[in-house]
Amino acid sequence: MFVGEAAVRYNVVAPLPAGKEERVAELTFFYGTMNCGKSTLALQIHHNAVSAGKHCLLLTKHDRGGGTISSRIGLAQPAAVVTDDLDIVGFVRDLIAGGRAVDTLICDEVQFYSPAQVEGLAQVVDELDVDVQAFGLLTDFTTQLFPGSQRMLELADRRQELQVEARCWCGERGTLNARTVDGRIQREGEQVVVGDVDDAVVAYEVLCRHHHRQGITSATADLDRGQPAGLRAVADTA
Ligand SMILES: [Zn+2]
C-alpha cells in the first residue's frame, strides 16, 4: 500500500445517512507546553470570531491574571472564571435562556478543569450546539497528563498540537514542563501551584526530556559552569 493511499483512506469520512444533517459545533483541543503561545492563539481566535460577528464567551481557570486571559506578549481580555464547582452546562444554558447569544466558548487553562467539567464542555457542544475551542497544557511538572487534559484528549472532535515550540536551555525542542523552586527541579508536590510558596520562588521552565530526566534546569546548568544565571548567553557569544 502506498503511503498516500493510506493517508487518503484515513481522511475519508463515511457519508451521512439520508436525511441527516451534519452537526456544525465541534469540541477542539489545542495543546502544547508552557510558553507555546496558547493564550495568544485563544485571544486571536476570539478576535477573529468577534470580527466575524460571532458571540463568544471567554472562560479561564487559575490564570495568572485572575478573571482575564492574558498572554505573555501583552494581550488581555476579561474572562469568566471557572471555579471548581461550576456546572458549565447549566452556566451556558442559563445565559442562553436569559437572552444572551452564545456561538463559541473559548476556554483557556483547560488542564485545570475537572474531568466532569470537560464532559460538560462536550455536552455544551452536543446539546446546545455551541462550538468549544479549548486550550491547555498536556502534562504537569511530573510529566503526567493533567486529568482535565486526559479527558479532553478522549472526548475532543479535533486535537491540535500547537506548532510554536518552546526550547530547552540547551537548544533542543522543549517538550516537558518543569517546576523549579529557587532554580532547582521539583519531583513532588501539589499538581497545581500558582505563585510563590514559603518565601521560595516557584517557577516553571520548559525542558527537553533528557534534561527533565536529569533534573538540570537553566539555573543549575549555569551553576555547573560556575557562572551566575544570565551571564551564560554573554559568555557563549564572547
Ligand atoms: Zn535540554
Same domain for 29 and 140? yes
- Sheet with 184-185, side-by-side order of all strands: 184-185, 176-181, 202-207
Q: Which residues, 6 or more positions from 148, have their beta carbon under 8 angstroms from its beta carbon?
A: 110, 111, 112, 113, 114, 115, 117, 118, 136
**Residue pointed to by grid coordinates 456544525:** 24
CATH of the domain at 118: 3.40.50.300
Higher confidence at residue 5 or residue 166? 166
CB 65 within 8 A of CB 75: no
The answer to whether residue 188 sits within a structural domain is yes
pLDDT band at 97 (very low <50, low <70, confident <90, very high): very high
43 Cα–ligand 1 center, Å: 30
Angle between helices 88-97 and 115-128 (to 10 degrees): 30
pLDDT of residue 10: 55
| Interval 142-182: pLDDT, tens | 999 999 999 999 999 999 998 777 899 999 999 999 999 99
205 Cα–ligand 1 center, Å: 11
Q: Which residues, 6 or more positions from 209, have their beta carbon under 8 angstroms from its beta carbon?
A: 175, 176
Percent of the chain at pLDDT > 90 equals: 64
Rounded-to-integer distance, Cα 185 and Cα 176, Å: 12
Same domain for 153 and 82? yes
Same domain for 218 and 138? no
Same domain for 100 and 32? yes
21 Cα–ligand 1 center, Å: 49
Over 80: is that where the pLDDT of 126 sits? yes
Number of domains in the chain: 2
Same domain for 217 and 119? no
Same domain for 67 and 121? yes
Tell me, yes or no, if 109 is annotated catalytic: yes
The answer to whether residue 198 sits within a structural domain is yes
104 Cα–ligand 1 center, Å: 38
This model's pTM is above 0.95? no
pLDDT of residue 219: 93
pLDDT band at 235 (very low <50, low <70, confident <90, very high): very low
- 3-class secondary structure, 190: coil
| Interval 199-216: pLDDT, tens | 778 899 999 999 999 999
216 Cα–ligand 1 center, Å: 8
Q: Where in the sequence is the domain holding 193, given as residue range(s)?
A: 176-227
Rounded-to-integer distance, Cα 178 and Cα 186, Å: 7
Same domain for 51 and 95? yes
pLDDT of residue 7: 47
218 Cα–ligand 1 center, Å: 9
The answer to whether residue 62 sits within a structural domain is yes
**Residue pointed to by grid coordinates 507546553:** 33
The catalytic position among 109, 161, 172, 188 is 109
| Interval 43-77: pLDDT, tens | 999 999 999 999 999 999 986 667 888 887 788 88
Q: How far is CA 217 from CA 150, 175, 186, 203, in A?
A: 27, 14, 10, 11
CB 111 within 8 A of CB 146: yes
